[in-house]
A and B are shown apart, each in its own frame.
Chain A
Amino acid sequence: MERPVLVFEEVYKYFRRDQPTLRGINLTIERGEFCFVTGPSGAGKSTLLQLVYRKHTVDAGRILFCGRDIARLRDDSIPFLRRNLGIVFQDFKIVKHWSVFENVAVALEILDMPQRLIRARVSEALERVGLAGRGRDRTENLSGGEQQRVAVARAIVTEPALILADEPTGNLDPHLAIDILTLFEEINETGTTVLFATHDHSLMAKRDHRIIGLDDGRVLEARRGLSSWGGDGASDIDVAEPRGLHAVPGSAG
């Protein structure tokens, strides 16, 4: 049996001593899964993802990425962790005055890849996100949806094991949001694991993916598809009585 790509074991994160942002998170993300991470604002969705790419470190517990404990990585090993992740943000985090090509190529330049190979891989990634032939365009001249596609191309160009998408559709209109979600699903179909944080229930309602609900720093429920949720959204999730079809026990990993 294949090792899970990501395992959270009793993970705690405190930004304020009296109020943990995450409390006792236990989760297992299997290889090739597509998971929504949802919950109200301040529930800890972004923090959960930030712990994975080591923007922050856990205060207690373990996070295993491909079997390695992320929390125990030395600072100088963090870049090598991030090279195995693709990260997409709500605000795109692309360099506006760079060209589309430069924005995508940067992820490969970091790997010291030869320019010829970089050109080929970037073209391929741009084609996958629907921006074929747009490499020379300045990114600031693109629409919001196109800018997010550039960010997605940058995330997939290194063929990472896991993609972390932190509210990637938050700045897009509903139509574009569906486009971007579909793009992530296509990427997932090639075997890449995707963790997609969103509080947009209309997106989750349209798909039958596993949902990890967070509220007040706890995993409330993780199930397959919002249609089986039995409520209007994450705010309806009951901590005391989890009704999950796919709830992940604390013994993960």
Chain B
Amino acid sequence: MDWKSTWARARRGVREEFRLYLVAVSSLSVAFVCVGGALLAVTNLDAMAERWGRSGKVSVYLHDGAERDDVSQIQTVLEALPEVLEVELLSSAEARTRFLEQSEVGGDLTALPAEIFPASLEVQLAPGTPRARVQEIGERVAGLGAVDDVETYAGFFTRLEGLLSAGRGLAGALALLVGLCVLAVIGNTIRLAVARRKDEIEVMKLCGATDTFVRRPFVVEGTLQGALSAGLALVVLFAGFLVLRGHLDASVGALAGINATFLHPAIVAALFFGGGLIGALGSAFSLKRYLAV
């Protein structure tokens, strides 16, 4: 198999159909930017979930009249658990102070009495503690006499996971849609190029070229189109990411406690090579009907 000749013929093809390929690559890049953007969003949501998951926390709210010994006993039991990093006792007054410090709610809240803030044990869990284990600890502590209520933030994590799963679904659907678009656009571009070059194909076939010989440069051209479009989209995304990263870190990042991250190198590679592969397939399929000479 003479790849030098294939490459030379593919180069000639690109040169001859340069404008057509330019239009196709620009359209495909837009599609790849969409799918890359969705993947970028999912990557950062994942990072946020991981960060929050890692900083797992349980708040154990105590009865108003809870005995000091009972509270100490609960604290000792909790501290003995291997998943627990730290247990902090927060009195009503401290809880009020912390709320007033952290709250950005408008209006004067200083008049709020300390009694409406129950005393609590703030339990810091080890990174990566499974959600089921957190729930188990919460349920066991809730049964103790001095405990009024336990907040494991399970609802929040369920909602976050729902959001993430919807994001992944959306990215997947977008990827599928973009994949089909890429197939169609590359297929049509190659079909147009083939229609314009059907004389060449006829000549080659009459001289004894096999279908593989005829197909090879077109497949190379399709691969280049797909990979180039994906590459261009990645460059655009990365440039956009660099421009926006500062703003994102200052606003959303500060709130969520994470720094914005770009796509994982494996995803970048998958997008690039996937684009090339789809391009190759699109070309191979679109040529079939022109090979019957």
- Could you list which residues of chain A lie within 8 angstroms of chain B, going by C-beta atoms? 53, 55, 76, 79-85, 87, 93-98, 103, 106-107, 109-112, 115, 154, 158
Q: Are A53 and B206 in contact (CB under 8 A)?
A: yes
Q: Are B199 and A95 in contact (CB under 8 A)?
A: yes
Of the A-B pairs whose beta carbons lie under 8 Å apart in the complex, a sample of 20, sorted by A's number, is: A76-B210, A79-B210, A79-B213, A82-B206, A82-B208, A83-B207, A83-B208, A84-B208, A93-B199, A93-B202, A95-B200, A97-B16, A103-B203, A107-B207, A110-B204, A110-B207, A110-B208, A110-B213, A115-B4, A158-B207
Residues from chain B with Cβ under 8 Å of A82 in the complex = 205-208
Residues from chain B with Cβ under 8 Å of A158 in the complex = 207
- Could you list which residues of chain B lie within 8 angstroms of chain A, going by C-beta atoms? 1-2, 4-5, 16, 199-200, 202-210, 213, 293
Residues from chain A with Cβ under 8 Å of B4 in the complex = 115
Also in contact, A154 and B2, with CB within 8 A (given A95-B199, A95-B200): no
Q: Are B204 and A106 in contact (CB under 8 A)?
A: yes
Q: Are B203 and A110 in contact (CB under 8 A)?
A: no
Residues from chain A with Cβ under 8 Å of B204 in the complex = 106, 110
Of chain B, the residue at the smallest CB distance from A96 is B199
A84 to B207, CA, bound (A): 9
Of chain A, the residue at the smallest CB distance from B213 is A110
A111 to B2, CA, bound (A): 10
Chain A nearest CB, measured from B7 CB (Å): 12
A229 to B293, CA, bound (A): 37
Residues from chain B with Cβ under 8 Å of A83 in the complex = 207-208
Residues from chain B with Cβ under 8 Å of A80 in the complex = 208
Supplied contacts A93-B202, A95-B199, A98-B200, 5 more A-B pairs, CB within 8 Å: A55-B293, A82-B206, A96-B199, A110-B208, A110-B213
Contact of B209 among A53, A79, A93 (CB under 8 A): A79
A81 to B208, CA, bound (A): 7
Chain B nearest CB, measured from A82 CB (Å): 4
Residues from chain A with Cβ under 8 Å of B209 in the complex = 79, 110
A98 to B200, CA, bound (A): 9
Residues from chain A with Cβ under 8 Å of B293 in the complex = 55
Q: Which 9 A-B pairs have the closest CB atoms?
A: A83-B208, A82-B208, A107-B207, A79-B208, A110-B209, A79-B210, A112-B2, A95-B200, A109-B5
Of chain A, the residue at the smallest CB distance from B210 is A79
Chain B nearest CB, measured from A154 CB (Å): 7
Chain B nearest CB, measured from A106 CB (Å): 6
Of chain A, the residue at the smallest CB distance from B5 is A109
Q: Are B206 and A93 in contact (CB under 8 A)?
A: yes
A98 to B2, CA, bound (A): 20
Residues from chain B with Cβ under 8 Å of A79 in the complex = 205, 208-210, 213
Which of A93, A94, A110, A154: most chain B CB closer than 10 A? A110
Contact of A94 among B1, B203, B213 (CB under 8 A): B203
A94 to B200, CA, bound (A): 8
Chain A nearest CB, measured from B14 CB (Å): 14
Contact of B203 among A81, A106, A112 (CB under 8 A): A106
Of chain B, the residue at the smallest CB distance from A89 is B206
Also in contact, A87 and B210, with CB within 8 A (given A95-B200, A109-B5, A112-B2): no
Residues from chain A with Cβ under 8 Å of B199 in the complex = 93, 95-96
Q: Are A109 and B206 in contact (CB under 8 A)?
A: no
A188 to B186, CA, bound (A): 47
Q: Are A93 and B203 in contact (CB under 8 A)?
A: yes
Q: Are B203 and A109 in contact (CB under 8 A)?
A: no
Chain A nearest CB, measured from B290 CB (Å): 15
Of chain A, the residue at the smallest CB distance from B4 is A115
Of chain B, the residue at the smallest CB distance from A97 is B16
Residues from chain B with Cβ under 8 Å of A97 in the complex = 16
A103 to B200, CA, bound (A): 9
A53 to B213, CA, bound (A): 18
Residues from chain B with Cβ under 8 Å of A94 in the complex = 203
Residues from chain B with Cβ under 8 Å of A98 in the complex = 200
Residues from chain A with Cβ under 8 Å of B206 in the complex = 53, 82, 87, 93
